[in-house]
Chains A and B, each alone.
Chain A
Amino acid sequence: MDLFQIIDDIAKVDPETLDRFDSRRAAFRNFLGFGKKVTATALPLAVSTLFTKAYGQTAALPAAVVATLNLALQLEYLEYFYYDTALNSSGLNLTADERGAFEIIRNDELLHINILRTTLGSAAIAPLTRASFDYTTSQNLSRSPVAPLTALGGTTSPTTGPFTDKAVFLLAAQQFVDTGVRAYKGGAPSLNTSTTKDILEAALNIHSVEARHSSRIRSLRRGGVQSANAPKSWITPDETPNTPGLPNNGVANSPTTVGPYLAGLPVANFPAEDNITQATLNVQTIGTLVSGTAGAEAFDEPLNAETVKGIAKNFAANPTALFN
């Protein structure tokens, strides 16, 4: 470990780093004095303590953490207003069970918005509104929407209009939440720093809740938990080729065609959801599996942030304003 190289690296992205250390001169001096006695194995803990002092609660979060959390926050807004609009769209004729499920899900998203805003503090983006989103993909009438999605707001005022088709609503809901699961999974490593372990754990605790949401929405789509219809509550490999892709809105480092079950970039790290290779092992064949699709189902896949942005911009009223 080269401590000084690490500090130098951080200083490149956070010019205030050295100031932080300087303003905590006592802590730094203490560390240096202590360092004469510490062994090599104790050094990581000492470094960790130093960073905790430097990036205390009142100090700025690392830039990568802020970026990940603000992307997550925008996705939570996208979902919150999506479910909230549905709950206020009488034309959907939601059953009592469906309404109950989506009230729970919407409320969870609002709680997530709040916890993310609290964590980010002043680094949080400005609050978004229903009008920030156009679920028809017309980007507020600036381009042709994907045909069936016009049921998610209409063709005259798509940033405010009600939803009118339950099947379309449920399908897009599943795809939003599965995209969210992949986004949190892809973002987790950026939160895994010695000073942000609590934030990492909170994000993991949102990630699994989103996966629970997906499971529930999928059971609603197939007509209830006892239905034998598709979709399963987990992602099956046929969904990768059978789910139409979307344009990436020019986002760099994302595939030209993006989608909730398609690969991100680089493909080796962010494969499509029909992937069966985990760390070079073929998880379909290493065990005795009865189902020919279990290997792909048993592992969900992450997406890189840029690919998530490429997907999400399709649902922004102004794609230059969101998911940047």
Chain B
Amino acid sequence: MHNPNNLLAGPADEPGRGLTSPLARRSFLRYSGAGLAIGGLWLAGCSKDDDTDVNPNGNFIDVGKDDTGILNYAYALEQLEAAFYTQVVGSFYTGATATEQAILKDIKDHEISHREFFKRAITSGRISDSLQPDFSNIDFTQRTTTSGKLGVLQAAMAFEDLGVAAYNGAGRFITNNDYLTLAGKIVSVEARHAALIRELIKTNSFVANDVVNLDTSTPNNLGGSPAVTGNLNGTGLERSKRPAAVLTTANTFLAAGSKLSATQYPA
């Protein structure tokens, strides 16, 4: 459709794919070689409008549209995270324990791995490789703060929770299931990060109500078995966010000229 050379992608394959012997068909396509799989990825940017570097939105860089736009969106968030942890690891905050330093070094490597992956995988229509962060609202010398600025762990929590909500809320806009799977490979690692950072700040906050729906306004007495008793509420679902909402937050950490928009996806 938008990408006729992409053997794996394409709406043409979509409506019936999950229904007619999905395993046999997809297995065949994937068995034809890992090279094919990457062929899809490499060609992702070959849509008819390579407009992702133009700036249709004032001072914002738009991530673009279709699957490429979502890949760009993920790439931008990974750039932001990698820049943050690189600065964290460059000079640790006061009182960082040996374990905290090891954790943050690991996470920095993971985010760099994600960033470098997207940088090479999006070969056409890719947004800037050098988005400029603005971390002026983060106090890199403090573990946590009550000053109004974010301490390092508070900022890390914000980035990780935001990343999980972003990947979860973008999955529905992905057409090519290879990209959906790749996003899934990354988001669960971000969720592991998020839960650990939250635990470093507060015990047993790994799935608290700000990130997972446990609202009392959503009573969960849906007739399941075992029956729900006591004050158990909500859906137990992560609070996914649409690209526009995510970028509103992300832009507070990006410098003028590097701020992002995602105008091609419904809010």
Binding site for B on A (CB under 8 A): 1-2, 5-6, 9-10, 12-14, 44, 47-48, 51, 62-65, 80, 97, 100-101, 104-105, 107-115, 117-118, 127, 181, 184-185, 188-194, 197-198, 200-202, 204-216, 219, 225-228, 232-234, 253, 266, 268-269, 277-281, 283-284, 286-291, 294-295, 297-302, 304
- Nearest neighbor of A291 in chain B, beta-carbon distance: B109
A279 near B121 (CB under 8 angstroms)? yes
Does B245 count as interface, using CB distance less than 8 angstroms?
A: no
In the complex, the answer to whether A234 meets B110 with C-beta atoms within 8 Å is yes
Which of the residues A51, A108, A115, A209 comes within 8 Å of B222, measured between beta carbons?
A: A115
Task: Write out the residue numbers on chain B whose beta carbons fall within 8 Å of the beta carbon of A206.
Answer: 236-238
* Inter-chain contact A63/B195, CB cutoff 8 Å: no
Assess whether A108 is in contact with B200, with CB atoms less than 8 Å apart. no
**Alpha-carbon gap, A65 to B239, bound state (A):** 22
How many B residues touch A, CB cutoff 8 Å?
A: 89
Please, which residue of chain B has its CB at the minimum distance from the CB of A289? B109
Kindly provide the distance from the CB of B213 to the nearest chain A CB, expressed in whole angstroms: 8
Instruction: Name the segment of B16-24, B53-61, B144-152, B253-261 touching the other chain.
Output: B16-24
Contact A300/B236 with A197-B172, A294-B113 known, Cβ cut-off 8 Å: no
The answer to whether A278 and B185 touch (CB under 8 A), given A10-B16, A13-B20, A201-B168, is: yes
What is B's interface to A at a CB cutoff of 8 Å? 1, 11-12, 14-20, 22-23, 26-27, 30-31, 34-35, 37-38, 41, 97-100, 102-103, 105-106, 108-117, 120-121, 164, 167-169, 171-172, 174, 177-178, 180-182, 184-196, 199-200, 203-204, 206-207, 212, 214, 220, 222-226, 228, 232, 234-240
Q: Please measure, in the bound complex, the distance between the C-alpha atom of A299 and the C-alpha atom of B38, giving whole angstroms.
A: 16
The answer on a CB contact under 8 Å between B22 and A64 is: yes
Expressed in whole angstroms, the minimum distance between the Cβ of A266 and any Cβ of chain B is 6
Taking a contact as CB atoms under 8 Å apart, the answer to whether A280 and B117 are in contact is no
